[in-house]
Amino acid sequence: MNTAQHQPYRNCRMGQPHSGYIDYILLGGALQRSLVPGSVVRLSYSATDAWRLKRSDHCPVAVELLLH
């Protein structure tokens, strides 16, 4: 299961030319039932921090899992 499948794509920052996610979180087996619905988020940072801290030019994705 691709956790971002069927989720709307949102760019990291305004004006970026990307049109889809380039990072993926795949869950299989029993773990896919632990995904909290609607919990896919983009982890972002400011353009200044990206340059100063030599960050990547994209923002990774994250999800929440409910583990028992």
For the chain, the structural domain boundaries read: 1-11+21-68
For 21-38, write each residue's pLDDT tens digit: 777 888 888 888 899 988
Tokens of residue 65, six digits: 């899992």
Map tokens 């970026």 to a residue.
Answer: 16
Q: Torsion over CA of 54, 55, 58 and 64, rounded to 10 degrees? A: 180
* Secondary structure (3-state) at 55: coil
**What are 42's strand-pairing partners?**
61
Map tokens 């299989």 to a residue.
Answer: 28
- pTM over cut 0.75: no
For 39-67, write each residue's pLDDT tens digit: 888 877 776 776 777 666 667 788 899 98
